[in-house]
Amino acid sequence: MAKLETIWRQKTDDQHRKALKKRLTKKSAQVLFNSLKSAANEKDIENAWRKVFTEYYVENYDEGFEITSPENVDGFISARSGALIFALRLLLEFKQGTDLTRVNDRARITCQCIHYMHAFKEKGYELPTVIVGADENQAFALLAGNFYKYLERDYEWGIAPSSAYKRDLKLMRDLQDDANLAVYPFQFVGGNVNERYNSLLDLFDSIDSIVQADGKETYKVAVSPATIVGMFDEFNHIAFREPDKIQPVKAVNMFMQMLTGKNSNDYYFLPRNRNLYHLPGDEKAKVYGVRLEAYLNHYDRNFTPKEVDQLTAIADRLIEANERRFKGDFWTPTIWAQRADELLKEVIADDYKDDSLVWDCAAGVRNLTREFNYDELFISTYHEDEVYLGEGYNPEAKAAFQYDFLNDDVLLNPKDKPDPHDWKMPESLFNALIDAGKTNKRVVFYTNPPYGTATNVKADGTSKKGIAKSKVNELMVKQGISKASQQLYCQFFTRIVKLVDDFELKNVYIGFFTKPRFFAGGDYFEKFNQFFFSRFKFVKGNLLNAGEFSDTANTWPITFAVYQLGTGCTDQPTNQFTIEQSDYSNGKAKVDVVGTHTMQKVYNNDALSTWAREPLKQGCFVKMVKGTYPQLSSALNESRGKKPRGWLHQGSLGYMVSNSNNIGEGTTNSGVWLVSGSAYKGNGFNVMPENFDRACVNFTARRAIAPTWYNEQDNYHAPDTSNPKYQEFVNDALVFTLFENASYQAAYRDEDWSNTNVPGKWANQWFWLPIGLVKEHVENDSNLNPIYDDLRGDQDRFIAKQIAHRSFSNEAQAVLDAAEKVWLETLPNRAMLFDDYPKYYLEAWDAGWFQIKQINHLYPAASYDQFRECFEKLKQKSGQLVYDLGMLNK
């Protein structure tokens, strides 16, 4: 099977490479290399690179991308207006005469790009997701999100971006200290043309990989020290004859042993066969011995003891994604291990390490415990090689052993199996737990468990299905808490509860790093929370940015929390956390508490998403026949998919995609949007007159909140409709929903679609102006005859009727007035676009705001900036009212 898998992987790789070569041919690569070689100036280099990027992303890729130069950047590749493809926004910057192996030159380009991004942000443009810097010889790619943090800081923003590297020295210094710049550039000089061509393909493959990892789920470039990362990458490339048989942890272990020679009795090349490398247990790995020895001889491996410790300390960060990230394992930085110890001391006792049984049951290479000394410490890890990697740390440990915490010994209990030899855990741990149960000794389960979720869908359409399969998972299913069993850290909690019961432990604390999503409630965690918080109470915890950890995105939080076993515990509706961040200024590392955040457990019965849909359960609605209405993949394009999941009821005003019920999904992950037809994506509901107000409230609450890394997992509660501010919010929400960027309502004139008695006419019920006003402005302009003909015999749309009998706040009315001005200013320009842009349907008298923005994009309205200012004020007010009405906690 392993051989078949290797063959299959090779075939898959070949197919992937073949697809890359179709989009970027060898001939095109040769043209690029020749152009770069003969470039006389920087403009020649820019033109050469723009040509190849245009070919790859625009000409040979059917996803609606375009290349532009906003703010005079060298290139910006993004989806054309109206597409719902958000991941790719590529900022390009090209130089001549740089050396991109030097961090200073990479920082120079990145500094300029950050100044461009600041200009983008100031003007309301979408920020790039990827930065690419290149010169005549090399190129590098960066995840742009890692550099968004600089946009909030005080730098020399008024200067020209091209001179930023000379004039904004503070930013340059900060960038040169940023580990996210520790990347190796792709080389296009030296070697033969095939090698250079493959390096170019690797560049585009790398960019695509970064882009595909965007959705939330959440991807980040490694932050290991550059030399060690480079050495390990080269080692991995040349070392193994059967790479598919070498687990990533084993590869890292071999690499570290070869560098340090710590255990030369167990790790060595066989004297008579240099292509076999000896491992503990008389295991032998097939390697390219001659290559490896030549490679190793390039380096001075006379490391000091301190340097050996430093190498071991970064070992976890070298373990590749296909195993550690697949299981959701993340390396814990020392500063957060120290902070966790402080919290444990605050909750338990200053001397808890001296009189507690402490078990780190997912220890990795002992990042949590290595800085401290414990009286009774037990260390276990899923990966056997990590036991060897961690040797030298915590020599006082009673046992350090390989142990699958979610499978080993799970079905045993000491009453039925009193002989410790029947157990996988060491006899010393078994006896210590038995003794703790009898003597009431304190037991502390202290670890950073895996965060993987079986249902996480990756960018290639696959998922982590299978990682949650374990014996604990089976127990949770039997206990009726199967949904949360897909989360590995929930399985760790459950296993601890079983250990407490099996060994009759009475004095127990848990200190875990986890995602805090279960503190936000939701259907997924409701039964688990009832189970777990009936046994353990939350005592204290913090929130830290996941970007503090290695290889994780910086858009979501991690909590370290301490829980105490108790009696009469209940699931508390709210829990407060400190917001903390690391500070490495002045050569010292410390943790700063920068605020507090309260997380509210919101379950289905109280959820905003449930409340918005409730009226639909009470009505009798008739579904329209599929094929008679638009299934939209973007505002103006029908889905190409064969099985769209959205549908429409007769009389529907449109379809609102409303995925999940949390802040991050509605904002960062673009999981909330509205169309006046149906949406291919599903995960939403029809907007009917019966639930219209609630739909607008849902849309506004989900879109008006500014997402932060610490609030993105917070769930929305249904609003307090008795609050005096509620009705004003409802009316504000109507206006917000009309004009927010994720509102894609439009009118269609297509022979296949009709929601009126006129074939081919799809009325946009979200058009807000009365038909009489439209008629007044088009009836005397012969250029606008198609619009005049279209409105004959028609009537006001649903939204126009609603606006006519409602009163609005000053902020909402200002938006309506400004939007009408934009509509009036863009109206005369429609005639110029009728023929060239037929799919904009601009002859429709009820063309929606999205369609109007397309006109404004080509022929800007003088009032559009005023509209944006008014809308921003409404958005800020609406965001505050979300909190005032109890939908979120701060």
Query: How far apart (Å, rounded) are the C-alpha atoms in residues 586 and 101?
Result: 27
| Span 409-413, average pLDDT | 97
**What's phi and psi for 568, nearest 5 deg?**
70, 20
- The first and second tokens of residue 696, run together, are 């607008």
What is the pLDDT at residue 220?
27
H-only helix segments in 681-780 = 692-704, 726-739, 771-778
Report which of residues 402 and 453 the model is more confident about: 402
What is the pLDDT at residue 144?
87
Does pLDDT of 829 surpass 80? yes
Find the range with the poorest average confidence among 43-47, 87-91, 108-112, 873-877: 87-91
Query: How far apart (Å, rounded) are the C-alpha atoms in residues 331 and 321?
Result: 12
Find the range with the poorest average confidence among 214-218, 472-476, 736-740: 214-218
Quick check: helix, strand or coil at residue 815?
helix
**DSSP track, 164-199:** HHHH-HHHHHHHHT-GGG--PPEE-SSS-HHHHHHH
Cα dihedral 831, 837, 838, 843 in deg (nearest 10)? -30
Q: pLDDT tens across 690-717, in order?
A: 999 999 999 999 999 999 999 999 999 9
CB environment 558-583: b (16+ within 10 A), e (fewer):
bbbbbbbbeeebebeeebebbbbbee
Instruction: Please name the amino acid found at residue 50.
Output: R
**DSSP track, 474-494:** HHHHHTT-TTGGGBHHHHHHH
**What's phi and psi for 771, nearest 5 deg?**
-65, -30
Helices 169-176 and 103-122 pack at an angle, to 10 degrees, of 120
Query: How far apart (Å, rounded) are the C-alpha atoms in residues 196 and 155?
Result: 38
Q: Of 222, 197, 194, 198, which Cα lies nearest the Cα of 210?
A: 222
Does pLDDT of 459 surpass 70? no
What is the pLDDT at residue 445?
98
CB 676 within 8 Å of CB 745: yes
Query: How far apart (Å, rounded) are the C-alpha atoms in residues 188 and 37?
Result: 10
Strand partners, 94: 134
* pLDDT band at residue 224 using 50, 70 and 90 as cut-offs: very low
Quick check: helix, strand or coil at residue 874?
helix
Quick check: helix, strand or coil at residue 212?
helix
Burial of 438 (0-12, 13-18, 19+ CB in 10 A): exposed
Task: Cite the beta strand spans of 720-767 per DSSP E.
Answer: 743-744, 748-749, 761-762
Q: pLDDT tens across 182-216, in order?
A: 666 778 887 788 878 878 887 887 787 666 544 33
Would you say how long the chain is, in residues? 890
Query: How far apart (Å, rounded) are the C-alpha atoms in residues 887 and 322?
Result: 39
| Span 426-443, average pLDDT | 98
CB 773 within 8 Å of CB 696: no
Query: How far apart (Å, rounded) are the C-alpha atoms in residues 136 and 32?
Result: 10
Query: How far apart (Å, rounded) are the C-alpha atoms in residues 786 and 778?
Result: 9
Strands 65-68 and 75-79: antiparallel
Share of the chain above pLDDT 90, in %: 61
227, 388, 457, 502, 841 from 460: Cα distances, Å: 31, 34, 8, 42, 35
Q: Of 596, 445, 452, which Cα lies nearest the Cα of 514?
A: 452
522, 664, 742 from 607: Cα distances, Å: 8, 16, 22
Find the range with the poorest average confidence among 460-474, 622-636, 750-764: 460-474
Does pLDDT of 598 surpass 80? yes
Query: How far apart (Å, rounded) are the C-alpha atoms in residues 713 and 667?
Result: 11
What is the pLDDT at residue 561?
98
Sequence-ordered list of residues with C-beta below 8 angstroms from that of 770, at least 6 positions apart, any chain: 796, 800, 804
Burial of 460 (0-12, 13-18, 19+ CB in 10 A): exposed
Is the full-model pTM beyond 0.75? no
Angle at CA of residue 691, ends 769 and 638, nearest 5°: 65
- The first and second tokens of residue 286, run together, are 């097939």
Query: How far apart (Å, rounded) are the C-alpha atoms in residues 751 and 630?
Result: 11
Does pLDDT of 286 surpass 60? yes
Find the range with the poorest average confidence among 510-524, 556-570, 576-590, 757-771: 576-590
Q: Enumerate the domain spans of the chain.
A: 23-212, 226-319, 334-601, 606-884
Helices 193-212 and 2-23 pack at an angle, to 10 degrees, of 100
Does pLDDT of 769 surpass 90? yes
Instruction: Please name the amino acid found at residue 146.
Output: N
- The first and second tokens of residue 557, run together, are 């939080």
Does pLDDT of 260 surpass 80? no
**What's phi and psi for 241, nearest 5 deg?**
-75, -30
Strands 508-514 and 442-447: parallel
| Span 273-291, average pLDDT | 77
CB environment 165-185: b (16+ within 10 A), e (fewer):
beebeebbebbeebebbbbeb
Query: How far apart (Å, rounded) are the C-alpha atoms in residues 240 and 597?
Result: 49
What is the pLDDT at residue 373?
95
Query: How far apart (Å, rounded) are the C-alpha atoms in residues 826 and 819?
Result: 11
Q: pLDDT tens across 227-249, in order?
A: 565 567 667 777 888 877 887 77
Query: How far apart (Å, rounded) are the C-alpha atoms in residues 742 and 737?
Result: 8
- The first and second tokens of residue 675, run together, are 């169309």
What is the pLDDT at residue 215?
30
Neighbours of 714 (CB within 10 A): 29
Neighbours of 600 (CB within 10 A): 19
Query: How far apart (Å, rounded) are the C-alpha atoms in residues 406 and 494?
Result: 9
Strands 654-658 and 637-638: unpaired
Instruction: Please name the amino acid found at residue 775.
Output: K
**What's phi and psi for 283, nearest 5 deg?**
-80, 150
Cα-trace Rg, the chain? 30
Please give the CATH architecture assigned to the domain spanning 334-601. 3-Layer(aba) Sandwich (3.40)
Quick check: helix, strand or coil at residue 79?
strand
Region class of 137: left (phi > 0), else alpha (psi between -120 and 50), else beta: alpha
| Span 258-266, average pLDDT | 70
Half-sphere exposure of 330 (CA within 13 A, CB side): 29
Quick check: helix, strand or coil at residue 591?
strand
Strands 356-360 and 442-447: parallel
Sequence-ordered list of residues with C-beta below 8 angstroms from that of 185, at least 6 positions apart, any chain: 100, 101, 106, 138, 139, 140
Neighbours of 292 (CB within 10 A): 20
Neighbours of 540 (CB within 10 A): 18
- The first and second tokens of residue 485, run together, are 């069993």
Sheet containing 672-675: order of strands = 684-687, 654-658, 672-675, 743-744
Does pLDDT of 502 surpass 90? yes
